[in-house]
Amino acid sequence: MDTTPLGPTAFRAPAVLLSGAVDYDMYRDFHRQLGAAADREIVVVELTTLGGDPEVARMMGEDIRFNSAMDPDRRFVFLGKAAIYSAGTTFMSFFARPNRYLTCGTRLMIHERKMNKQFQIEGPLTTCIASVTATLNEIQCSIAIQNEGFSNLIQGSDVTLDEVLEKAPSNWYLEAEEAKRRGLIEAVI
């Protein structure tokens, strides 16, 4: 994989332009634009988002990972503009660290996954145990997926998983220059 730093001209006409909530509409738009860029050697994906669905971010990220593995001569580059929050940071974590760029003044926001679920226990006791166990399994699986994403994000940086786990519950914001200093991105442009 080519990890040569890119000059500003590489970002003049990104192949994929995304903004807004990370949701299924964004995924369809991403997939369409990614397919249209099949002939490009450098595929710049530009994103601005205040967050959204982490599973959609993972789907988009898996498309990046898959395409990178299937065609190692192509380079998939992330360009974050203004705000890369929550699911946007999850998506960024799927790009190789040397292929992550932010524009000046962009903020990253890293936080834990959230759950909003009403929990009601009702019925025969054995089925109550099954319901409680199922919810606990869902929480534990979500934490494991979250921590995999955190590990991808920090790979090659001086940020530790312990630091992310300490700061993420209260929404950790990093300005672009700090993200660069900490090794989470390649450069600020």
Burial 61-99 (b: 16+ CB within 10 A, else e): bebbbebbeeeeebbbbbbbbbbbbbbbbbbbbbbbbbb
pLDDT tier at 165, thresholds 50, 70, 90: very high
Higher pLDDT, 46 or 135: 46
The kind and range of the H/E element at 46 are: strand 42-49
pTM of the full structure:
0.91
Mean pLDDT of 66-74: 94
The contacts of residue 60 (CB under 8 Å, 6+ apart) are 22, 26, 27, 30, 91, 94
* 9-23, 70-84, 96-110, 120-134: range with lowest mean pLDDT: 120-134
Mean pLDDT of 94-106: 96
Mean pLDDT of 133-157: 93
Residue 21: how many other CB atoms lie within 10 Å: 15
Higher pLDDT, 1 or 23: 23
Q: What is the rounded distance in angstroms from the CA atom of residue 48 to the CA atom of residue 11?
A: 14
pLDDT tier at 127, thresholds 50, 70, 90: confident
If you write DSSP's letter for every residue of 133-180 in order, what string do you get? Answer: HHHHHHHHHHHHHHHHHHHHHHTTSS--HHHHHHHGGG-EEEEHHHHH
Beta bridge partners, 80, equal 47, 102
What pLDDT shows up at residue 156?
93
Mean pLDDT of 160-169: 96
Mean pLDDT of 114-135: 87
Q: What is the mean pLDDT of the chain?
A: 93
pLDDT digits over 32-68, tens only? 999 999 999 999 999 999 999 999 999 999 999 999 9
